Amino acid sequence: MIGIEKQGYGNNQFRITDKEKTIVDCFDLPEYSGGFDELIRAFVKTRLDAAKLITYCNAVNNISAIKRMGYLAELFKKENTEHFIAYALTKVNERYSLFDTAGNNKGTHISRWKLRLNISEQKILSVANNLY
C-alpha cells in the first residue's frame, strides 16, 4: 500500500494513488488503463518523479512494464528521468517482451530494451502527440 494519498475533507475523504503509482499500475495491468494509446500519452505528457517510479516499480516487480516505461522515457527524452532509465536498464533481462501486450507477436526488436515493437515507433510518436 504505497503511493496512496488522502483527498477530500472530513467524512468525504478518500484514497487515491499519486500519478507515478497510477502510471506504474497501468503499465503493470494495461487492460485496466483505458487503452494503450492513452497510457502512452499519459506517460509522455505527465511530469514524473524518477525516485517514486523506481520505488513503485520495485513494489510491482513487473520487468516487462519497467522495460516499456524505460524505453518510452528514453525515446521521448523525458526530463529528469535519467536515473529511472539507468534503473530500468538494470532490470532488462534476456527475454523479449511485447511493447503492446494486446498486440500481435510481430514487429521490430529493440535489443537494448529487449522489447518487440509490435507498434511502429512512428505510431508511438504519433500517439504521444495526439496525431492519428
Q: Is 62 helix (H, G, I), strand (E, B) or coil?
A: coil
- Residue 70 identity: G
Nearest to 124 by CA among 58, 97, 108, 112: 108
Cell numbers linked to 117? 515493437
Whole-prediction pTM: 0.90
What is the C-alpha separation between 81 and 74, in angstroms, rounded? 8
Whether the CB-CB separation of 39 and 19 falls below 8 Å is answered with no
Cell numbers linked to 75? 525515446
Q: Express as a percent the part of the chain with pLDDT over 90.
A: 75
Length of the chain: 132
- Strands 14-17, 97-98: pairing kind: unpaired
Domain that includes residue 98, residue range:
4-128
Residue 86 reports pLDDT greater than 90: yes
Overall domain count for the chain: 1
Residue 14 has a pLDDT of 86
97 φ, ψ (degrees, to nearest 5): -115, 145
What is the C-alpha separation between 10 and 128, in angstroms, rounded? 39
Q: Express as a percent the part of the chain with pLDDT over 70.
A: 98
Residue 6 has a pLDDT of 84
26 φ, ψ (degrees, to nearest 5): -70, -35
Residue 132 has a pLDDT of 45
